[in-house]
Amino acid sequence: MTTQTQIPSLTALEYIPYVDDTGNLPENLQREIGVYAIFDQDKKLQLVNYSRDIYISLKQHLVRQPQSCYWLKVETIKRPNRSQLEVIRDAWINENAAIPVGNGSEQALWNQPIDAKPEMTDEERLSYEQSDEFTQTKLLKKIARRVEARILEELKSRGVTTEIRFNPKQKEKGLLDVK
């Protein structure tokens, strides 16, 4: 845990498995505030971010980028303020000597809901364009559910047992976001 004046070195922190032997994310991070770094299977830094609930953020990143979430480094803070969290995040990025893809070119892929619309088949796209709003909504939900099933299958193949639920209202817009 960090105080106002300490900025922990990213390299000094221990790696934590993103998914433990039981298939769960680190439950001790539920409702914890702090800064976290996500690494791929080869321990290459992918993203540095901060959150008011690290556990929820980790779930969202795992769903959005499952192939890149294998290791973590975390610093929790009891009485943070945004500027303190940003200072640590920026220090870790600078320490890395290169901007991680999740903080640069792939930022939207790591932080925005998954857009299922590009997964439409040509037939679905034609049907969507020729339909009323109600039918379009039903079609978007169908496509979102198909993408959701693929994501959940990928997570299952990784051994993830943590419950993942998506916001049903977002599916109506063709988006997938962890609830």
Question: Do both 131 and 167 map to the same domain?
Answer: yes
Q: Are residues 22 and 107 in the same domain?
A: yes
**pLDDT tens digits, 71-115:** 999 999 988 789 999 999 999 999 998 999 999 999 999 999 999
Whether residue 21 is found in the same domain as residue 105: yes
What is the distance between the alpha carbons of residues 167 and 138, in angstroms, rounded to a whole number?
15
| Within-domain flag for 5 | no
Percent of the chain with pLDDT over 70: 97
End-to-end CA distance of the chain: 28
Separation between Cα atoms, residue 10 and residue 121, nearest integer Å? 44
Q: Does residue 59 fall inside a structural domain?
A: yes
Half-sphere exposure of 30 (CA within 13 A, CB side): 5
User: How confident is the model over 116-136, as a mean pLDDT?
Assistant: 95
State which residues form the domain around 86. 16-111
Mean pLDDT of 53-57: 96
Closest C-alpha among 91, 107, 78, 122 to residue 9: 91
Closest of 104, 15, 21, 106 to residue 67, by C-alpha: 106
| Domain end marker among 81, 111, 141 | 111
Strand, helix or coil for residue 159:
coil
Q: Is residue 3 part of a domain?
A: no
Q: Quote the tokens at residue 25.
A: 């994310």
Eight-state DSSP code of residue 38: E
The pTM assigned to this predicted structure is 0.89
Residue 3 pLDDT class (50, 70, 90 cuts)? very low
User: Could you tell me if 101 and 39 lie in one domain?
Assistant: yes
pLDDT, mean of residues 103-131: 95
Looking only at the bridges linking them, the beta strands covering 34-39 and 45-51 are antiparallel
* Count of CB atoms situated within 10 Å of the CB of 49: 21
In a domain, 64, yes or no: yes
Any domain includes 172: yes
